[in-house]
Structure 1
Amino acid sequence: MSVSDVGFSLVSSRAVMPVRGVVVGSGRGELLEGLEGVVSGRGGPGVVWGSQGVSGVPGVVFVFPGQGHQWVGMAVELWDSSPVFAARMAECGRALSGWVDWDLEDVVRGVGGAPGLDRVDVVQPVLFSVMVSLAALWRSCGVVPSAVVGHSQGEIAAACVAGVLSLEDAARVVAVRSRVLRGLSGRGGMVVVGASRGEVEGFLEGWSGRLWVGVVNGPGSVVVSGEVGALEEFVGWCEGGGVRCWRLDVDYASHSPLVDEVSGELLGLLEGVVPSAGEVPFVSGLVGGVVEGEELGAGYWVRGLREPVLFEDAVRCVLGGGSSVFVEVSGHPMLGVGVEQTGGVCGVDVGFVGSLRRGEGGWGRFLLSLGEVFVRGVGVDWARVFVGGSRVGLPTYA
């Protein structure tokens, strides 16, 4: 009797109870240790458990972040261990090939001569590919979104996953838009501030016309975008006044009027992008609510680069629709604080789950994430995970 057979039998021949636990391990020893962690209540690195009604939750929302969740080697393990992920990454590579002068797999694997993730016109298409491929992996395990939410450039992946943009059009948008951004490199920046939007707008009165609110992540997290010199002054002012802030690793000022310089060029380059109605509701981080798919033509993607990201409003919209479990489809979770803060203000106990983590980019990490959504009441098709498993006799419940 193999471990795989035991796991398959548990998910295929046992009722799903309100109290659920999932143990992930690389062998019998780790799995027994994890089970002991469940029994004792002390948990462990490969253990998740929770209590949910067997009827499940109204729906799971896929969230796609902007730049920042990249790390060297983030997709290599999954590429080598998951046929579903590898196939979708290969499709993304083919879709990008007409718009970039580098190979997606070479960049991900760090092949000599390939450009690095320090270039905006490389990192954004790579992140897009990883997010789209992770979404395909979630779906292959039976976790299907009831809505998608994008954050900054993550909206491109969200639109693709929702069926609003074809993979080819989405690849074009992310490649062209990130290439145009290179023209703004070195002339701006962005700073996260731990305060509300109203507070930050008050802070910025002394830098009118030089700094702007670029992103509203949640009730206590705002990103300021603008000129390099003005940002240096602002950071010094924050530090002197005890206002928590930190710089983002970007050298351009997206989501600000400084983008106007390249807006006309970008609009022309994206002419011909044809959106459709889509298959999944698209909750826009640009307007903070549901947007019909046909509205996501070239003009939308120019506005999305220039105007503020209203992520908090988008999360409020989702919560108002009854969904409370969010899956961040990314290389490392970034948006959990904003989602949980917004849920707290709205009086909703949200569940937030990532996909991968820095330094943890393999099948085991993804299985643990599957377990995390399962114990929160989301349906998982475990039979697809235990491919080749056979049903065996197990002891009955006490």
Structure 2
Amino acid sequence: MAVFDVAASPWHFLPLSAATTTSLAEKRLNLAEILEADALLDIADLAYTMQISDHGLDDRLAVLGCNNLELVKALRDGSGAGWISGCGSTMARPVAFLFPGVGEQYVNMGKDLYSHAPEFREDMDYCFDRLDRELEADLRTAMFVEGWIAPTRQQAWLRGASAPHEPVSELNRTLYAQPAMFVIEYCLARQLMRWGVLPTAVLGYSLGELVAATIAGVVSIEDALRIVAGRAKLIDELPPGAMLAIPMAASEVAPLLADELSIGISNGPKLCVVSGANAAIAELAAAFAAIGVATRQLSTTHAFHSPFMKPAADGLRSLLKTIELRQPNLRCLSNVTGTWLTDAEATDPEYWLRHLCQTAKFAECLDTLLDSEEDWAMAEVGPGQSLAALVRQRAALLPGDRGQLVVPTMRSLYDCEDDRLVLMLVLARLWVAGSDPDWAKFHAGACRQRVSSLAELGIVEDQLS
């Protein structure tokens, strides 16, 4: 079975590398001439040949396009949407997977991949079948809706009194939102790992830590689905609550909070989220507005990461006692402590209950990751780009140029790109930065031929991997 239906993909990724910038420019212009001279050249075979070739050189560029004309234009212009360049390294950069939390989900997220990536679809169906039994609900139908019209960026900007009415999705409900986010992130991580993009560290945002723990081997996928379903059902039964994003440090906001409020998430040096009862959150927002501080209420149904979650945690305790928790086989960051998850924490059921009720220290997790003196290549594995934004804000405060890279792996709600293109761009950006995906696995099941003339013309090295 093909990991990815390469034959049906309209996009092609051409990697080029050279010892110097000058020789790289010569190679790209030579490649443009080859494409111009042979209109019948199979671009898929060309891409395959270039991808599996030996690229042990530091100056790298990647060109993406749908056809001969697009690729030639990018190669000749040396710029454009399909052009990615940079200085890689013969030493592979460590990869970190970042998993977002609830709030980024949208109807039909991942549908492009579900339709065109057979093993991704197989993973999704495996999760759907088990979750449908656990939830007594049809998650697949809630996620994938025919004829669904997503809101535009303009509608999002206008949201408020003058905003157009937007359709209400089941995915806004915790019962569906949490399992849906878990499934899409887990299956997307598996897809990347099949292609040889292997993380050495994982970090989850709120619910995303459960995905991170699953990828790190703390729980099996079967047990993880039981936890996610049980957690979602218990939270769904709780009284509603709210969360408010405030552009201030958690340490500044905490002393101002009334009894029904607490710091839910620490996002950065100047951003935190407060959790609490609806009325108390509304009063807090009004109080900040009165002093000129703009806040934003999140699209959540409950006061996550707060004492309001305690009844759900009490209900989850009995389930966790039936589940085998193992030591992580990857470095995993803890939202509870803001540091690396220890073996003792990972295997303690009470840790996962604290994770539900206590402040999620995401800012501290980022500090730990970015202060580790490694030039990470980070992939935000899931819908949206909010974690990438938080990483860039935090990295901007670091001294010097640490060369941190963070790439989205799925489009956000208001974008229209095909997720296959987004994933192709992930591979291209990681490759330019020095990582080397497993191209043989990427092309598994596809009938490809090497274009021997590329080596003769000096476009690729003679030695093929």
Residue 35 of structure 1, aligned match among 75, 78, 83: 75
Give distance in 2, aligned partners of 1:23 and 1:82: 22
The equivalent of 1:371 in structure 2 is: 428
C-alpha deviation, 1:111, in angstroms:
6.6
C-alpha deviation, 1:260, in angstroms:
2.3
C-alpha deviation, 1:244, in angstroms:
3.3
Give distance in 1, aligned partners of 2:63 and 2:389: 26
Give distance in 2, aligned partners of 1:19 and 1:235: 50
Give distance in 2, aligned partners of 1:16 and 1:43: 25
Cα contact 1:221–1:338 (8 A) shared by 2? no
The equivalent of 2:301 in structure 1 is: 251
Give distance in 2, aligned partners of 1:152 and 1:167: 18
Cα contact 1:272–1:298 (8 A) shared by 2? no
Moved more, 4-13 or 262-271: 262-271
Cα contact 1:164–1:294 (8 A) shared by 2? no
The equivalent of 2:66 in structure 1 is: 26
One-letter amino acid matched to 2:116: S
C-alpha deviation, 1:321, in angstroms:
3.0
Give distance in 2, aligned partners of 1:169 and 1:346: 39
The yes-or-no answer on 1:329 pairing with 2:386 is no
The equivalent of 2:269 in structure 1 is: 219
Cα contact 2:305–2:358 (8 A) shared by 1? yes
TM-score calculated relative to the size of structure 1: 0.90
One-letter amino acid matched to 1:193: I
The equivalent of 2:448 in structure 1 is: 389
The equivalent of 1:102 in structure 2 is: 137
The equivalent of 1:342 in structure 2 is: 394
C-alpha deviation, 1:141, in angstroms:
1.2
Number of equivalent positions: 387
Cα contact 1:110–1:116 (8 A) shared by 2? no
Cα contact 2:101–2:205 (8 A) shared by 1? yes
One-letter amino acid matched to 2:429: E
One-letter amino acid matched to 1:51: C
RMSD: 2.2
Residue 246 of structure 2, aligned match among 178, 193, 202: 193
C-alpha deviation, 1:169, in angstroms:
0.9
C-alpha deviation, 1:308, in angstroms:
0.5
Identity %: 29
C-alpha deviation, 1:3, in angstroms:
0.5
The yes-or-no answer on 1:17 pairing with 2:57 is yes
Give distance in 2, aligned partners of 1:34 and 1:119: 44
The equivalent of 2:177 in structure 1 is: 123
Give distance in 1, aligned partners of 2:248 and 2:367: 18
The yes-or-no answer on 1:52 pairing with 2:52 is no
C-alpha deviation, 1:319, in angstroms:
2.4
Cα contact 2:338–2:363 (8 A) shared by 1? yes
The equivalent of 2:101 in structure 1 is: 66
Per-residue CA deviations over 1:80-135 (Å, capped at 9, x if unaligned) read 111221121122123323311123333322279xx821211111101100000000
Q: Return closer, same or farther for 1:241/1:279 CA change in 2, 3 Å cut-off.
A: same
What are the within-5 Å matches in structure 2 for residues 154-233 of structure 1?
154-186=208-240, 188-202=241-255, 205=256, 207-233=257-283
Residue 87 of structure 1, aligned match among 113, 122, 125: 122
The equivalent of 1:289 in structure 2 is: 339
* Structure 2: stretches of 5+ with no match in the other structure: 1-40, 148-168, 461-465
One-letter amino acid matched to 1:200: V
Q: Return closer, same or farther for 1:294/1:110 CA change in 2, 3 Å cut-off.
A: farther
One-letter amino acid matched to 1:145: P
Q: Return closer, same or farther for 1:209/1:342 CA change in 2, 3 Å cut-off.
A: same
Cα contact 2:173–2:301 (8 A) shared by 1? no
- For the pair shown, the structure with the greater C-alpha radius of gyration is 2
Residue 325 of structure 2, aligned match among 252, 271, 275: 275
C-alpha deviation, 1:261, in angstroms:
3.3
Residue 302 of structure 1, aligned match among 350, 353, 365: 353
* Structure 1: stretches of 5+ with no match in the other structure: none
Residue 235 of structure 1, aligned match among 285, 301, 304: 285
Cα contact 1:275–1:294 (8 A) shared by 2? no
Give distance in 2, aligned partners of 1:374 and 1:185: 47
C-alpha deviation, 1:283, in angstroms:
1.4
Q: Return closer, same or farther for 1:244/1:8 CA change in 2, 3 Å cut-off.
A: same
Q: Return closer, same or farther for 1:8/1:262 CA change in 2, 3 Å cut-off.
A: closer
Give distance in 1, aligned partners of 2:380 and 2:243: 22
The equivalent of 2:150 in structure 1 is: none
One-letter amino acid matched to 1:353: V
The yes-or-no answer on 1:262 pairing with 2:262 is no
C-alpha deviation, 1:298, in angstroms:
3.1
SS at match of 1:290: coil
Per-residue CA deviations over 1:277-327 (Å, capped at 9, x if unaligned) read 232122112211122345334322221110011112112222233432211
Per-residue CA deviations over 1:9-31 (Å, capped at 9, x if unaligned) read 21223534323222222332333
SS at match of 2:170: coil
SS at match of 2:378: strand
Cα contact 2:174–2:301 (8 A) shared by 1? no
SS at match of 1:123: helix
SS at match of 1:97: helix
